[in-house]
Copies of this chain bind each other. A is one copy, B any other.
Amino acid sequence: MIFVSRQEHFNAAHKLYNTAWTPEKNEEVFGPCANTNWHGHNFDLIVTVKGEPDPDTGFVVDLKKLSQLIRKEVIEKVDHKNLNVDVPFMAGKMASTENLAIEIWKILEQKLGSVSQTARLHCIKLYETPRNFVEYYG
């Protein structure tokens, strides 16, 4: 078993805001992250899959195909978007890095079969900033 990772990136706006709360409570809990008019980040996304290398190619998975899959299924839906408003798969969820990583896992787990019959999704690692990041293993 070997683990293979591909890093992609996207830029997005968001805010942390619970619509069931008053503005005051949002401000108290989330501070500047609740700014009414949004803020944003350069997100870095690392997708890790696991499997055995194919003897004919030496690959667990073709990273060009994995990159294309991530771009088509994830990056195109979040890049230069507002995570609270523009992204159907985040509708009704707090736009936290935790929730975003979990939803990206769900999407890629379903679609990974289109680039490899044998590799399995292992980890979604998502950097909101170089100092704040999350990891999800399903």
Contact = CB atoms under 8 A, between A and B. Distances in A.
Interface of A: 1-9, 11-14, 16, 18, 20-21, 29-33, 35, 37-42, 48, 53, 55-60, 62-64, 79-82, 85-86, 93-99, 101-102, 129-137
Best-buried of A2, A12, A59 by chain B (most CB within 10 Å): A2
Contact of A93 (B8, B9, B11, B58): B58
A98 B7 contact: no
20 contacts: A2-B102, A3-B134, A3-B135, A5-B132, A5-B133, A7-B130, A12-B39, A13-B39, A21-B56, A35-B81, A35-B86, A37-B85, A38-B38, A39-B80, A40-B40, A40-B41, A41-B42, A42-B130, A53-B99, A57-B94
